[in-house]
Structure 1
């Protein structure tokens, strides 16, 4: 069974931490859209972080890499996917390539906690924006954010969205369109793993 998982969420909500843990536990290939995007420029600055053109290139390259990897491996994409049209690029690229598509939407409604997480980052990525700029990026993404819904999944495969609140460290709800028994068993396994790792 071929599976692709992708994250949706704002800055500093816990996407990367959870995505890496899931990838390690389930032996998925891990793709970071942020790292791929930053590799496209000689020096990544705050100006580049706001560039829609660079973001689009980053997402398109990440999606293309995922479709190649899916020929032999299951994949998890660590990205914000905060705009619906970029998620549609992913859905359109995956037609008949996967048996199960899972979105993990991670949110932290407590902005004070978000700012604290950004300020506590001991080492920002090389050539990345500084902490003050990360907060500006968070504010920009928040204004543009399109919350996902299972109805937007324009794909024939089984699909689901897991909604996670990292302020309270709980799964707040799920939206599921699963018919296949193998998909159902995998999804149950994924939920158990996420619950086990929330708050760690």
Structure 2
């Protein structure tokens, strides 16, 4: 059984990569399901503008609400895996303790875990992308309402550190959108299925 988890800030390219990987794996004959916390949190509502209050982890009600949306991914992923599919968790996972829920879930259920860490730090490009998305009536994703909300999420995140990668023996593909490159220095080649994903990304990014 295999599970893919994304880690990264908003606008880092997570959803873009998730869609690309899904299409590739489906063409290979796999059943793939992208699971998003914005769906578990807002029950599929579209065009939601997240204010700083919606994302502020120092507000207890917000933190509890976000915790629930992340925990809700676990039974959904379990259902997909039970049916022989591959779940892709498309969320920021910017708090370490939430990532650890997935680490423990995978270890307990003997699931191969691939972490894809997306990085993008070009603030001017992020602001431009934010404005364009908000102006596009056809854009169906959920949006941060301001650069302040984005900066707050970045400020409050727990970095995916080398220590964490070593502690949980993680296999990680790093996608650096700033440099348009893939880093495999923390990728483990012992799972053939994930080697296919890594090979696809190397050829197409």
TM-score with structure 1 setting the length? 0.81
1:153-172 pair list within 5 angstroms: 153=168, 159-172=170-183
Confirm or deny: 8 A CA contact 2:8 2:14 kept in the other structure: yes
Q: 2:100 aligns with which of 88, 95, 98?
A: 88
Cα displacement (A) at 1:94: 2.0
Paired residues, number:
186
Q: 1:146 aligns with which of 154, 158, 176?
A: 158
Cα displacement (A) at 1:161: 0.6
Cα displacement (A) at 1:98: 4.0
SS in 1 for 2:114: strand
Confirm or deny: 8 A CA contact 2:172 2:188 kept in the other structure: no
Give the Cα–Cα distance (whole angstroms) in 2 for the partners of residues 98 and 75 of structure 1.
15
2:128 corresponds to 1:116: yes
Gaps of 5+ in 1: none
Q: 1:54 aligns with which of 61, 65, 77?
A: 65
Q: Please give the per-residue CA displacement for 1:54-96, whole angstroms capped at 9, x wherever unaligned.
A: 1111100012211222112121110100110000111122224
Q: Please give the per-residue CA displacement for 1:76-122, whole angstroms capped at 9, x wherever unaligned.
A: 11010011000011112222424421100000122212222212212
Give the Cα–Cα distance (whole angstroms) in 2 for the partners of residues 59 and 192 of structure 1.
29
Match for residue 15 of structure 1?
14
Match for residue 190 of structure 1?
197
1:128-147 pair list within 5 angstroms: 128=142, 133-147=145-159
SS in 1 for 2:72: helix
Q: 1:146/1:173 Cα in 2 relative to 1: closer, same or farther (>3 Å)?
A: farther
Gaps of 5+ in 2: 27-31, 57-61
Confirm or deny: 8 A CA contact 2:106 2:112 kept in the other structure: no
Confirm or deny: 8 A CA contact 1:67 1:97 kept in the other structure: no
Give the Cα–Cα distance (whole angstroms) in 1 for the partners of residues 80 and 195 of structure 2.
24
